[in-house]
């Protein structure tokens, strides 16, 4: 082996042994740098004769090319290894099962709302929504609530320190009953020509579920709660229809055909006669106990007039129930506040 061959072999071994790119560059300098071994050999050419210079120069150049090639190969190998390692580190295991998002569920009160809408929907009731910020005219006056009625009081009602364009004070609606007036007035306006011409107006059959507000807070009262209003007005709608419809609703809602209903005489300014509706289960922990679930009654003539309709021709009934309470009864929940605390341990039970 010539001295040059030996040099190439050592260089190759040196390059292969270099563990990092930096050390490879150091190794390169040992051969090809300014004071490198190959460089030194080239410098030594000056002392040779013309012919010797030619052969020796060519040999050294050849050795240089082989060392260069070894260097390039080692650099490439290092780059490949680095890329490999990086790819391996960033590798995605596409066979791993995906990470699931938590699956949400409907709030128990929303479930009740959906049930109410589905059951009344099947009986031909429309579903209406209305504003939660109401005028005192809609909340009280139109519903025949006298000026001094306790329901209007500051202790009961959240007032908004503002009036609408007509000068009516605004409040957070304390019940969904104003929706009777809003819906019936729109219905009467829509069919005004028909009614004026003596025609028979299509019946009003609507429920209006939504949020309501009162200054009230304990285990069975929350300042924000839910109500669902119902209204059925026609030329021939009677208290009997109310009993049929509401009995049907309760039995479907609680999935119990032997559920008992009781219409207990009561008072509401907007109905006459008025009744509180109580139910009693035929079995279960509450068996035989009368539980109040709704207020109801035949709509008062003054209210029908405020609908923009003639109380001599258009009669019917209204009712208002509490979906929160229905939910408590259906699922056996004993504290209303659980519905609004947002505690997942409670809510997850309804998924
Ligand atoms: N608005 C009444 C309340 O909040 C409930 C009610 C009673 C609604 C009788 C009605 C009704 O439509 O006829 O207590």
- Residue 103 located in a structural domain: no
Atom of ligand 1 nearest to the CA of 230: 12
Distances (CA, A) of 316 to 144, 172, 230, 284, 328: 16, 27, 11, 34, 29
170 and 60, same domain (yes or no): no
269 and 202, same domain (yes or no): yes
As a whole number, mean pLDDT of residues 235-255 equals 96
Atom of ligand 1 nearest to the CA of 177: 1
Residue 136 CA neighbour count, 13 Å, CB half: 20
Instruction: Ligand 1 pocket test: pick from 138, 150, 175 the residue with the most ligand atoms within 8 Å of its Cβ.
Output: 175
For ligand 1, the distance from its centroid to the CA atom of residue 318, given in whole angstroms, is 8
List residues near ligand 1 (CB under 6 A). 175, 177, 229, 268, 271, 295-297, 318-320
- Provide the whole-model pTM: 0.73
**Residue located via tokens 């259906």:** 330
13 and 155, same domain (yes or no): no
**What band does 93 get if pLDDT is binned at 50, 70 and 90?**
confident
256 and 318, same domain (yes or no): yes
Atom of ligand 1 nearest to the CA of 175: 4
What is the model's pLDDT at position 2?
A: 86
Which SS3 state, helix, strand or coil, does residue 342 take?
coil
What is the model's pLDDT at position 103?
A: 79
What phi and psi values does residue 224 have, to the nearest 5 degrees?
A: -115, 130
Which domain, by its residues, includes 48? 3-89
What phi and psi values does residue 233 have, to the nearest 5 degrees?
A: -125, 130
Distances (CA, A) of 114 to 120, 123, 206, 249, 303: 10, 14, 15, 13, 28
- Residue 94 located in a structural domain: no
78 and 179, same domain (yes or no): no
Determine contact, residues 305/311, Cβ cutoff 8 Å: yes
**What band does 258 get if pLDDT is binned at 50, 70 and 90?**
very high
CATH of the domain at 187: 3.30.930.10
What percentage of the chain reaches a pLDDT higher than 90? 83
The 159-163 sheet, strands edge to edge = 133-135, 169-172, 159-163
- Residue 95 located in a structural domain: no
77 and 196, same domain (yes or no): no
What is the model's pLDDT at position 101?
A: 84
What is the model's pLDDT at position 72?
A: 94
Atom of ligand 1 nearest to the CA of 174: 4
89, 119, 143: which is the final residue of a domain? 89
Determine contact, residues 59/9, Cβ cutoff 8 Å: no
Determine contact, residues 227/175, Cβ cutoff 8 Å: yes
Instruction: Ligand 1 pocket test: pick from 157, 227, 267, 268 the residue with the most ligand atoms within 8 Å of its Cβ.
Output: 268
Residue nearest to atom 7 of ligand 1 (CA): 295
222 and 252, same domain (yes or no): yes
For ligand 1, the distance from its centroid to the CA atom of residue 350, given in whole angstroms, is 29
Q: Please state the domain count of the chain.
A: 2
For ligand 1, the distance from its centroid to the CA atom of residue 31, given in whole angstroms, is 100
72 and 138, same domain (yes or no): no
298 and 338, same domain (yes or no): yes
As a whole number, mean pLDDT of residues 334-342 equals 92
For ligand 1, the distance from its centroid to the CA atom of residue 186, given in whole angstroms, is 20
Residue nearest to atom 8 of ligand 1 (CA): 320
Determine contact, residues 328/257, Cβ cutoff 8 Å: no
**What band does 275 get if pLDDT is binned at 50, 70 and 90?**
very high
- Residue 269 located in a structural domain: yes
**What band does 173 get if pLDDT is binned at 50, 70 and 90?**
very high
Measure the CA–CA gap between 271 and 141, rounded to whole angstroms: 14
Q: What is the pLDDT of residues 112-162, one digit of tens each?
A: 999 999 999 999 999 999 999 999 999 999 999 988 888 888 888 999 999
What is the model's pLDDT at position 148?
A: 87
Q: Please report the beta strands in the chain, taking only residues with DSSP state E, as ranges in sequence order.
A: 126-127, 133-135, 159-163, 169-172, 204-213, 224-234, 260-268, 271-280, 291-299, 315-321
What is the model's pLDDT at position 336?
A: 92
150 and 294, same domain (yes or no): yes
Measure the CA–CA gap between 338 and 14, rounded to whole angstroms: 75
**What band does 9 get if pLDDT is binned at 50, 70 and 90?**
very high
What percentage of the chain reaches a pLDDT higher than 70? 100
Residue nearest to atom 4 of ligand 1 (CA): 175
128 and 57, same domain (yes or no): no
**What band does 259 get if pLDDT is binned at 50, 70 and 90?**
very high
Distances (CA, A) of 20 to 12, 17, 39, 166, 274: 15, 9, 24, 84, 92
As a whole number, mean pLDDT of residues 94-107 equals 87
For ligand 1, the distance from its centroid to the CA atom of residue 320, given in whole angstroms, is 4
Q: What is the pLDDT of residues 32-67, one digit of tens each?
A: 999 899 889 888 888 889 988 899 999 999 999 999
89, 122, 144: which is the final residue of a domain? 89
Q: Looking at the predicted structure, is the pLDDT value of residue 199 above 80?
A: yes
For ligand 1, the distance from its centroid to the CA atom of residue 155, given in whole angstroms, is 19
- Residue 234 located in a structural domain: yes
56, 89, 122: which is the final residue of a domain? 89
What Rg, from alpha-carbon coordinates, does the chain have? 44
Instruction: Ligand 1 pocket test: pick from 138, 205, 319 the residue with the most ligand atoms within 8 Å of its Cβ.
Output: 319
32 and 140, same domain (yes or no): no
What value does the mean pLDDT of the chain take? 94
As a whole number, mean pLDDT of residues 75-83 equals 93
**What band does 288 get if pLDDT is binned at 50, 70 and 90?**
very high
How many CB atoms sit inside 10 A of residue 87's CB? 9
**What band does 22 get if pLDDT is binned at 50, 70 and 90?**
very high
């Amino acid at each position: 082996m010539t001295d040059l061959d030996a040099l190439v072999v050592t260089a190759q071994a040196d390059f292969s042994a270099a563990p990092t790119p930096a050390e490879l560059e150091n190794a390169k300098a040992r051969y090809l740098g300014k004071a490198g071994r190959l460089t030194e050999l080239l410098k030594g050419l000056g002392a040779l004769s013309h012919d010797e210079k030619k052969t020796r120069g060519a040999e050294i150049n050849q050795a240089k090319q082989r060392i260069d090639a070894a260097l390039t190969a080692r650099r490439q190998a290092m780059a490949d290894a680095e890329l490999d390692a990086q790819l391996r580190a960033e590798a995605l295991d596409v066979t791993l099962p995906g990470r699931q998002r938590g699956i949400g569920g409907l709030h128990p009160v929303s479930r009740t709302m959906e049930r109410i809408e589905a059951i009344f929907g099947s009986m031909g009731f429309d579903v209406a929504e209305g504003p939660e910020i109401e005028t005192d005219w809609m909340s009280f006056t139109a519903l025949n609530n006298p000026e001094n009625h306790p329901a209007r009081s500051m202790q009961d009602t959240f007032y908004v320190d503002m009036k609408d364009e007509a000068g009516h004070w605004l409040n957070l609606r304390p019940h969904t009953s104003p929706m009777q007036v809003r819906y019936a007035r729109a219905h009467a306006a829509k069919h005004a020509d028909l009614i004026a011409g003596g025609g028979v107006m299509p019946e009003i059959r609507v429920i209006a579920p939504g949020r309501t507000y009162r200054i009230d807070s304990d285990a069975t009262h929350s300042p924000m709660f839910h109500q669902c209003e119902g209204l059925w007005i026609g030329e021939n709608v009677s208290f009997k229809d109310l009993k049929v419809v509401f009995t049907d609703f309760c039995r479907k809602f609680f999935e119990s055909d032997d559920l008992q209903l009781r219409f207990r005489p009561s008072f509401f300014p907007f109905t006459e006669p008025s009744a509180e509706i109580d139910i009693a289960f035929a079995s279960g922990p509450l068996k035989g106990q009368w539980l109040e679930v709704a207020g109801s009654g035949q709509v008062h003539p003054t209210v029908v007039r405020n609908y923009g309709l003639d109380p001599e021709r258009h009669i019917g009934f209204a009712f208002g129930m509490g979906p929160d309470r229905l939910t408590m009864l259906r699922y056996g929940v004993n504290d209303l506040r659980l519905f609004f605390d947002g505690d997942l341990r409670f809510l997850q039970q309804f998924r």
